[in-house]
Chains A and B, each alone.
Chain A
């Protein structure tokens, strides 16, 4: 009988992670930078586009070597796919190449916003679950679609806070709250993070984890931003569990008058 994970641990697809920050590699300028960023962020799960790398090539010093050396788990994704059939094919290739049934499922429906195609996404998710994959779908902040994905057997849902790479933060916090309440599976905020406060807000809204790439890899100082994101995710998680005070219209003195000596 396994002991329940500590409060800070994050269970996903039957695995427990100490970190609630998941990194993407998109936009990283070099393998050396990727290594520094992973170590600074404390991430234990890193997602890589299958299309961007040739897993059979000899890649001394490349991205895959860095991931192996950092001891992080690799999460292949289907970035660039636009149909369910394409995404399912890529997922199978990824399972073969990386010997993992985990897949971050992306099925893009619009080229300018890179928002997901809900119909194709659900269809691909159903097929991949049936094929034995641990499916982590990139979705919108629509609570109904999230429930459908969870019902289809996805191991988590990954709503966008804002379009991929936009750095706009969380466009609709209310939807994210609704979404959090509509599913039992973990909710991972995926896409839209621009800076540390965005990541903290996602956690405060009840997300179980945050996935980000550009916010760190394209920052002027990626290592410093990775450190900031690690703290932000931890801070947001702590705050979410700490029970914030009610919002008031007027001030309430933090030091009450009662009991003060009259001088």
Chain B
């Protein structure tokens, strides 16, 4: 049943963000159409699905950290509602995350961050090597130390997209497979267009969202068994960062490179480095089957925080994009913030520092539907 006074909503992009926005808007009585020729084919198809506000906390990113913590807190309710609506589970696991350090150098680096995270009051407990291995006996015996972040959980992004599609459809959302080249092609009179097109948002809006390539591997425990570890393992192995995410179905996700590139090539060097770091931390996975090596493009913004809210000069266009490496964990809060904005017309204070136009002063005005291209720049 459609509520009076609510806008018609067009969502561009059927990744987790676009689908969750559509679902939340539809359940509040809005008429919602989602455009995407290939739902879930962007970054979420590759993403590991770590819900890790603590492990993703880095120096000098207080706004982002606050948003991660707030969204992570919404995940249990989000998962429960999805399950209620669809009967599907999305691989949500709450055993926590262990961050580990292979060498003394790695430990020194990690300890700086743990101290900072503890100063912010985030739940992270340093552990001695013996304590680490009591939690996960398969960890390499030579590890110099680690820390447990019990509140850093995980979800399977591919299952999440599948469940969100069903939930959205059941809430009355229409999904259209037409590609969107320009926002004016899909905009409804007196409606609102939500741009949740990940890296594609740059071409549609001119906003500064750039691809940041990540290569990710998927392994499988032998003989249909579950992986021999239950917690997400993140760590530093001789200066290399790596994570291992164990799924209940036997899959282990190993990632990820961070490359300022826009191609999707899988390179030998990246696979080598990821596997070397991963087996340094958890030797057993050398026996696992290597089932997939893929690259995805994270939608990066200048300050690593997402762009959420209306465009200043076109309030009928609302952006929900640029989630960089945090798209999965930020899905519930992004959907809530956008749905609240569209249903009440009032912007949550959380949206202030996330305004899509916040970089406009430095970058100068944009021509709509045209992204900047570095090839035109000259170097002195």
Contact = CB atoms under 8 A, between A and B. Distances in A.
B375 to A, nearest CB: 6
A58 B373 contact: yes
Interface string A49-68: 00011111111111111101
Contact of B372 (A30, A60, A100, A220): A60
19 contacts: A32-B302, A32-B304, A35-B302, A35-B362, A52-B260, A53-B260, A54-B213, A54-B259, A54-B261, A57-B262, A58-B372, A59-B210, A59-B260, A60-B202, A62-B208, A65-B208, A65-B372, A68-B379, A99-B378
A73 B371 contact: no
B263 A54 contact: yes
A153 interface: no
A73 B301 contact: no
B206 A60 contact: yes
A56 B261 CA distance: 9
A222 to B, nearest CB: 7
A53 B362 contact: no
> Which 4 pairs, one residue from A and one from B, show the smallest C-beta to C-beta distance?
A61-B208, A57-B262, A54-B261, A32-B303
A56 B300 CA distance: 17
A60 B210 contact: yes
A177 to B, nearest CB: 29
Contacts of A60: 202, 206-210, 371-372
A11 interface: no
Contacts of A31: 300, 302-303
A64 B374 contact: yes
Contact of A73 (B58, B375, B379): B379
Interface of A: 29-33, 35, 52-66, 68-69, 71, 73-74, 98-100, 165, 220-222
Contacts of A53: 260-261
Contacts of A61: 207-210, 300-302, 359, 363
Given A73-B379, A100-B379, A62 B304 contact: no
Contact of B300 (A33, A62, A98, A165): A62
Interface of B: 58-61, 112, 116, 202-203, 206-211, 213, 239, 259-263, 300-304, 359, 362-363, 371-375, 377-380
Given A54-B260, A62-B260, 18 more contacts: A29-B59, A29-B60, A30-B302, A30-B303, A32-B304, A53-B260, A54-B262, A58-B262, A58-B373, A59-B211, A59-B260, A60-B202, A61-B300, A66-B302, A74-B379, A100-B379, A220-B112, A222-B60
Contacts of A74: 379
Nearest to B211: A57
B144 to A, nearest CB: 17
B68 to A, nearest CB: 15
Contacts of A62: 208, 210, 260, 300, 374
Contact of A58 (B359, B363, B371): B371
Nearest to A98: B379
A62 B375 CA distance: 13
Given A53-B261, A54-B261, A220 B211 contact: no
A31 B300 CA distance: 9
A59 B262 contact: yes
Which of B116, B202, B371, B372 gathers most chain A CB within 10 Å? Answer: B372
A192 B300 CA distance: 30
A99 B380 CA distance: 8
Given A61-B359, A64-B377, A221 B59 contact: yes
Contacts of B60: 29, 33, 220-222
A177 B375 CA distance: 43
Given A57-B211, A61-B359, A222-B60, A52 B374 contact: no
A134 to B, nearest CB: 13
Which of A53, A60, A61 gathers most chain B CB within 10 Å? Answer: A60
Nearest to B359: A61
Contact of A52 (B206, B239, B259, B377): B259
A54 B212 CA distance: 10
Contacts of B259: 52, 54
A60 B300 CA distance: 10
Contacts of A71: 380
A22 B24 CA distance: 50
Contacts of A56: 374-375
Given A32-B302, A69-B363, A55 B378 contact: no
Contacts of A100: 379
Nearest to A71: B380
A55 B374 CA distance: 7
A256 B211 CA distance: 68
Given A32-B302, A69-B362, A74-B379, A63 B260 contact: yes
B102 to A, nearest CB: 13
Nearest to A52: B260
A57 B262 CA distance: 6
A64 B380 CA distance: 13
Contacts of A220: 59-60, 112, 116
A229 B304 CA distance: 25
Contacts of B58: 29
Contacts of B261: 52-54, 57
Contacts of B263: 54, 57
B263 to A, nearest CB: 6
Nearest to B378: A99
Contact of A57 (B116, B206, B363, B374): B374
A54 B199 CA distance: 15
Contacts of A99: 378-379
Nearest to B238: A112
A30 to B, nearest CB: 5
A59 B374 contact: yes
B24 to A, nearest CB: 28
Contacts of A58: 202-203, 210, 262, 371-374
